[in-house]
Amino acid sequence: MTARNLPTSVAENGLARYFKEAWTYPVLEAKQERTLAERWRDEGDVDAAHSLVTSHLRLVVKIAMGYRGYGLPVADLVSEGNIGLMKAVKKFEPERGFRLSTYAMWWIKAAITEYVLRSWSMVKMGTVAAQKKLFFSLRRHKQRLGIQDTGELNPDQAKRLSEELNVKADEIVNMNRRLASKDLSLNAPVGQDEGSSVEFQDQLEYEGASPEELLGDGEVRGLRHEMLQSAIENLDVREQHIFIERRLKDNPVTLEELGQHYGISRERVRQLEARAFEKVQKAMTAEMSGREQAAEDALVADAAFAG
């Protein structure tokens, strides 16, 4: 399967038409999805792969629209996201029990993120992980703190963001300036032709969560719960009990009560709780890192289903 098997290309007839076309493809039931994935993996059935890709095009659009504030053509963001989606379909393993939407999110975001970083010439602003993280999180934290996403940050705002992100205030100010230099208005045209009448605000009808995103969000929560359960199972019986009673209950049991239960001091219970928490945290971080590695592989994988 190659890119030509996708619906009308993003740039060919404008975004509005492409979006409408993407929304015409049906959302697959879990059983349908697994059958198609197995046919593609085991038999190389291109039609099955095509159905898997087209049924998730709206997910690509939703994710791509979340990156539109970086001043890049939405059509390009969608195109890069589609490449990530195709990679996800190629590597998808249905027997693992997760839906394609959950798995594909990693690949779609990785492909779009890499495109954004390339386009913004990250070499000029630094390529360390902390700076990349700041690049992609600054707007979200400004919104959460009620800071307008326009203009220069005042000293108080920079200080609040510095405390929130644990980054030097001057680094935040510099990054904010770079982001502001490429901000797009909601009235900016998104069509490929000059003088296009299609604007960002014209796409607001798609702001509601799509079925794939709702499903994906639920599956991500399920995935995290599964990872937590797996991490807890690696604790010994006493650590499990203390961790659950202290960290997972709405009304945690006191250190004193647990100390009386086990015949140990409150301080010893606190130490066991801290140790259990550290073990769980490390286990979940390791699992998550493994999954993130799959997304990083997308940055160097083939751009289509070659090989």
**pLDDT bucket at 132, cuts 50 / 70 / 90:** low
Exposed e or buried b for every residue in 68-102, given b needs 16+ CB within 10 A?
Answer: bebebbbbbbbbbbbbbbbbbbbebebeeebbbbb
Which pLDDT does position 303 carry in this prediction?
A: 35
User: Average pLDDT over the chain, rounded to whole?
Assistant: 74
Domains in the chain, start-ordered, CATH in brackets?
3-120+195-211 (1.20.120.1810), 123-180 (no CATH), 234-294 (1.10.10.10)
**pLDDT bucket at 158, cuts 50 / 70 / 90:** confident
How far apart CA 305 and CA 88 sit, in angstroms, is: 10
Who wins on pLDDT, 178 or 74? 74
Which pLDDT does position 283 carry in this prediction?
A: 83
Of 120-129, 136-145, 197-206, the least confident: 197-206
Of 111-125, 152-166, 178-192, the least confident: 178-192
Mean pLDDT, rounded, for 97-112: 87
Spell out the residues 6+ positions from residue 38 whose beta carbon is closer than 8 angstroms to its own. 94
Indicate the angle between helix axes 129-144 and 169-180, nearest 10 degrees: 80
**pLDDT bucket at 294, cuts 50 / 70 / 90:** low
pTM score: 0.48
